Structures are given as structure tokens and as C-alpha cells.
């Protein structure tokens, strides 16, 4: 079974600074996707960034980028120029490439932005 591990229950960063959230996963599949989702207090799940396992290039979305290390099964999220609106729970998630299965989520990291 696939597992996703987020080892940082909580992280704190100063506004405008950069923070990196860690995620590791375990799978025997070769075709899969990795995701970072943001869950603000409203509890709506918001997709931050997505990475296809077959792509070597790290995904980037504006201030958000990932460091995908496939051999090490590591998928960290870097948030640059942190903003107050970035404060939320961040979940790392794994999805099998076939698409028939739901996502496996890590336990989440609570990100605090200090003004």
C-alpha cells in the first residue's frame, strides 16, 4: 500500500520569507502523480501544485515550486515570498497514474505566517 509521510506537524515563517514543507512517499508503482493541497479554515481543498512522476522537471506555479526526487521518493514544496494568505494546512497527496484510485494523503503541515 502507498504511504505518504509529512514529518512537520507545524511550520512557521516570516512574511516575505521562503519556507519548505517536506513530504516523502512509498510506492511500487512507476506511473503516479503527486500533489500539494492547501486547506484553509474554510476546509475547501485547493490544489497548489501537481507533479507527474514521469516528468523530471520540477513543477512550478508562481511562488510555489517543488523539489521532486523520484529515487529518494521525496516531494517537498517551496513557498517563496510567503504571504499572510498562505497560512493554512498543507497536505501532500499521492495518486496512482491509472486514475481509478483516490488519493492517499499525508497527515498535513500547519503553516503559520508571521507578519
**Which residues bind to another protein, rule: CB under 8 A?**
33, 35, 37, 42-45, 47, 50, 52, 91, 95, 97-108
| Closer residue to another protein in complex, CB, 85/98 | 98
Instruction: Write out the three cell numbers for 7.
Output: 514529518
| Closer residue to another protein in complex, CB, 33/64 | 33
- Return all residues near 110 (Cβ < 8 A) that are at least 6 apart: 9, 10, 11, 88, 89, 90
C-alpha span between 90 and 78 (Å, rounded)? 12
> Shortest gap between Cβ of 55 and another protein (angstroms)?
11
> Shortest gap between Cβ of 18 and another protein (angstroms)?
25
> Shortest gap between Cβ of 5 and another protein (angstroms)?
11
Q: DSSP H helical segments within 21-104, as ranges?
A: none
Amino acid at each position: 500500500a502507498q504511504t505518504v509521510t509529512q514529518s512537520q506537524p507545524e511550520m512557521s515563517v516570516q512574511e516575505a520569507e521562503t519556507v519548505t514543507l517536506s513530504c516523502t512517499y512509498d510506492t511500487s508503482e512507476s506511473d503516479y502523480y503527486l500533489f500539494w493541497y492547501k486547506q484553509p479554515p474554510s476546509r475547501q481543498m485547493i490544489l497548489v501544485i501537481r507533479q507527474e512522476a514521469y516528468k523530471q522537471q520540477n513543477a512550478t506555479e508562481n511562488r510555489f515550486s517543488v523539489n521532486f526526487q523520484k529515487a529518494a521518493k521525496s516531494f517537498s514544496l517551496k513557498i517563496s515570498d510567503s504571504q499572510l494568505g498562505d497560512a493554512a494546512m498543507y497536505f501532500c497527496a499521492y495518486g496512482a497514474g491509472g486514475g481509478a484510485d483516490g488519493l492517499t494523503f499525508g497527515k498535513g503541515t500547519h503553516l503559520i505566517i508571521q507578519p
